[in-house]
Amino acid sequence: MNYIGFYIIILLSNIIQGITGFAGTILAMPPSLMLVGYDVAKPVLNALGLFAGVYVLMTHGRHVNKKELQKVVLVMSVGIVTGILVKSLFVGKEEILYKCLGIFVIGLAIQGYYQLTKKKEHVTESRSQAQTGWKNYILLISSGVVHGMFVCGGPLLIGYLSKVIKDKVSFRATISSVWIILNTIILLDDVRTGLWTVELIKIQVITIPFLMAGMVIGTKLYARMSQEVFMKLTYILLFISGISLLVK
């Protein structure tokens, strides 16, 4: 039953991903940790993020902003290595990391919901922040650390990339390229540490149709329904997910 719940979570989170353009993995990670544990949730969701990136890049590859892609990959790679090292220090003490992830998700949900409701008031502030180089580097490194530990660095990366790439097509193609490269690094590390077994490969194969179905449904809903409503729903769900990790 836990694995059935895991597959449903992947379907629902990727419907949200298809509508909002982000939050698929970070929305799926908290309930997945509770259902199937870190050693299954992290490598499977990481690989799904890689597949999703390839799916987008197949149709939008020519719109990649190569300059920003190079910058993001180089800076986030430092964070990813740091995140992997930090995770290795907490072997057998994953509950501590779960609590940290819960706090991070709750903070992200509150900030995102507030900025969404106060969008107009934050336009000037966001533009000024985009000009502050050191803040951008901190944002990217932090994104890498979170991604290295939980493959959930997307929201932080979006916080940076949305300020420097305004074209939606280029944004989507560039961020998809980032996930292909960085998730491949994490995938190789998961193979190195022995997470990938025959049983895990079977689980991964089963998840792919749920991923594809979620993305297709989400894309169709995106064309018909209010994205702002679903963005608010996403932040509410993130908040609930974060709370669930704290009380786990």
The whole-angstrom separation of Cα 13 and Cα 66 is 29
Residue ranges per structural domain of the chain: 2-246
The whole-angstrom separation of Cα 16 and Cα 19 is 5
Q: What is the largest CA-CA distance in the chain?
A: 52
Helix axes 154-164 and 133-150, enclosed angle (nearest 10): 150
DSSP secondary structure string for all residues of 50-94: HHHHHHHHHHHGGG--HHHHHHHHHHHHHHHHHHHHHHHTTTT-H
- What's the confidence (pLDDT) of residue 132? 60
Strand intervals (E) in 124-211: none
- What's the confidence (pLDDT) of residue 58? 84
The whole-angstrom separation of Cα 23 and Cα 27 is 6
Asked if 24 contacts 175 with a C-beta cutoff of 8 angstroms, the reply is no
Q: Which residues of the chain have pLDDT under 50?
A: 122-130
The whole-angstrom separation of Cα 187 and Cα 201 is 12
pLDDT digits (tens, 9 = 90+) for 73-100: 999 999 999 999 998 888 878 788 888 8
Tokens standing for residue 217: 């449904």
Confidence (pTM): 0.79
- What's the confidence (pLDDT) of residue 130? 45
The whole-angstrom separation of Cα 241 and Cα 245 is 6
Torsion sign (Cα): 103, 12, 210, 167: negative
DSSP annotation of 131 reads T
- What's the confidence (pLDDT) of residue 56? 77
